[in-house]
Amino acid sequence: MMAYSINLSFNNSQEGFQFPVNPESLEMSGGSNGKTYDIVGANDGRSESRGGEVNVIKGPKLREISFSGIFPAQFYPFLATNVLYEPMYYVRAIENWMATKRPVRFIYVGHYESALAAQGFIGQELNIPVSIEKFKWKESAGDSGDLEFDISFREYNFYAARKAEVKTDKTGAQVIIPMSARRPDERIRPLTYTVRQGDTPSRIAMMFYTDGSGLPDSSRYKDIQKLNGLSDAAAAKLTVGSILKLPAL
């Protein structure tokens, strides 16, 4: 069995929430942007370099994520978190983030139950910037006050124009030299972080730090523990509401 949580984070985790009820299913799609072309050649059907249709492999498509669920108006036994807001809180937050035209963080964390973890089963973690592409909601039938919703996201790829410098080479010709581009960052890292339900040092590290390739770096949990003087036992049981110092780059 696996326990998992789904969170949205906005503006350097200054805003965000965990979805109170895990969806029955979560759909993620990807793929590539390969294209096919017809070329002229020896179309004998036996040579790898024969003419006809060829496939050109290009970069991967942006991943898309979608699921349906409810924002409950009461504490049900199947809630995924102990922190519950009134249903319209979630609706207003999502609609406000969409209005800013800025990406949010989609964070999925899954952990296997202890018996499987002891056998070496590794949990699942996904922390990517996304745009909220579609969001619709309605009130459930009856007087429960629950809101039903459908939501979909598309992976957001940060991009920026690269500066270039014009120089003259040995022959006197002018050449354009691209300048190194800094990897864009959608947020400013705070000095501290307030622990929320379900947080672990590894999960917090993935929110704020990236490795050399720009991917979330969970290994920085060691620096977080060291800076805050946390033993492994204390780190495994973080207190909701406690404040942790975040190390510099």
Same domain for 131 and 209: no
Same domain for 144 and 95: yes
Residue 53 has pLDDT above 90, yes or no: no
Express each pLDDT in 98-135 by its tens digit: 999 899 999 988 776 666 656 666 667 788 999 999 99
Same domain for 193 and 149: no
Express each pLDDT in 232-244 by its tens digit: 888 888 998 899 9
Query: How is 154-181 classified by DSSP, letter by letter?
Result: EE-----PPPEEEEE-TTS-EEEEEPPP
How far is residue 73's CA from residue 54's CA, in Å, rounded to a whole number?
A: 55
Residue 184 has pLDDT above 90, yes or no: no
Q: How far is CA 87 from CA 129, 135, 150, 187, 222, in A?
A: 24, 14, 14, 27, 37
Same domain for 14 and 91: yes
Residue-range definition of the domain harbouring residue 128? 1-29+57-157
Looking up residue 134, the CATH number of its domain turns out to be 2.40.30.210
Range scoring the smallest mean pLDDT among 3-12, 139-148, 159-168, 238-247:
159-168
Q: Look over the chain and give the mean of its residue pLDDT values, rounded to a whole number.
A: 81
Percentages (nearest 5) of helix, strand, coil residues in the chain: 15, 35, 50
User: Domain tally for the chain?
Assistant: 2
Same domain for 78 and 127: yes
Residue 174 lies in a domain: no
Same domain for 199 and 105: no
